[in-house]
Amino acid sequence: MSTDPSPSESEVEPSAEPPEQGAAEESAPLPKRRVWVVFAVAALLWAIDLLTKNLVVANLEGKEPKPILGGLIYLQVIRNPGAAFSMATGMTWVLALVATGVVIAIVWISRRLRSVGWAIGLGLVLAGALGNLTDRFFREPGPLRGHVVDFISAFAPNGQGFAIFNIADSAICVGGALIVLLSLLGKDYDGTTTRGKKKESE
């Protein structure tokens, strides 16, 4: 018969709780998909862009620039065959194809979106691309060659203070800036934070 004392309960090794906690954190559910945010933002801004373009064409085309906000903004209709802010004039069909590619790419990546910020940013870019692409297809002089309606001239008429633009151009710029900011902050489109991951690996 063995005379060794049986180990007391206090001498029993405690269960390894930290690994279980780490495993629980790793298996935490991901944020919900944000596809609906992309298309909700895109639909709203696309509608605003189309509405404002149709209104200014119907009421201001062929007329003198109309100052609003004390001359901070001038409204006037300019038919732009180029890109945003009148760049790349003369490459209308190329720009139409590029915009089509942008739309397809955003629709494809939207299936994996879990970040609200990224969803809003991509929704704004999608709205801008669709707004100007609509002009490329349905305005004169014809499909893939249509001129975009620009009507906002900041600080001075005729684009003398700043390039003439529209709501779609603004949406593209704001959406692009938001995406760049989120990337700099380490916020990924899938809802994860790369900056935190880097610190943990170090």
Catalytic residues: 150, 169
Contact by Cβ (8 Å): 49, 171: yes
The tokens for 60 are 């201001």
CA–CA gap between residue 165 and residue 144 (Å, rounded): 19
What are 74's strand-pairing partners? 67, 153
Residue 93 burial (CB < 10 Å; 0-12/13-18/19+)?
A: middle
Element holding 192 (H helix, E strand) = none
- Strands in 148-154's sheet, in edge-to-edge order, are 66-68, 73-80, 148-154
